[in-house]
Amino acid sequence: MNQPMHTLPITSPDGYSLAETTRKTVREYLKLLGNQDATYLYRQIIDEVERPLLEELMDHTNGNQSRTAACLGINRATLRSKLKRHSII
């Protein structure tokens, strides 16, 4: 898949990048677990991030799935599958 030519960094209002925020959150979560192993952590994190991403983009595009899929760089069928997974449609 082609990478966009120009992108803006994703940062929080406090100036942290999305990667830094993710790293910090995962570190804190693992500390809470202590010696207990994390299970299904990848799916949990993807679900936590994917749902609000989809909701915000669908709102931004006024519910236009084709535009939302284009913004995400995925095809419309994949978007619909994700929207159904998160009970957005």
Tell me the CATH number at 71.
1.10.10.60
What is the rounded average pLDDT of the residues 77-81? 98
What confidence tens digit (pLDDT) does each residue in 54-68 have? 999 999 999 999 999
* Helices 65-72, 41-60: inter-axial angle, 10-degree rounding: 130
Confidence class of residue 4 from pLDDT cuts 50, 70 and 90? low
Predicted TM-score of the model (pTM): 0.78
Residue 4 within any structural domain of the chain: no
Residue whose token pair is 């609000």: 52
Please say if the pLDDT value at position 72 is more than 80: yes
Enclosing domain of residue 53:
37-89
Residue 30 within any structural domain of the chain: no
Domain count, the chain: 1
Beta bridge partners of 17: 11
Residue 85 within any structural domain of the chain: yes
d(C-alpha 71, C-alpha 34), whole Å = 39
What is the rounded average pLDDT of the residues 61-77? 97
Confidence class of residue 10 from pLDDT cuts 50, 70 and 90? confident
d(C-alpha 84, C-alpha 17), whole Å = 29
Residue 31 within any structural domain of the chain: no
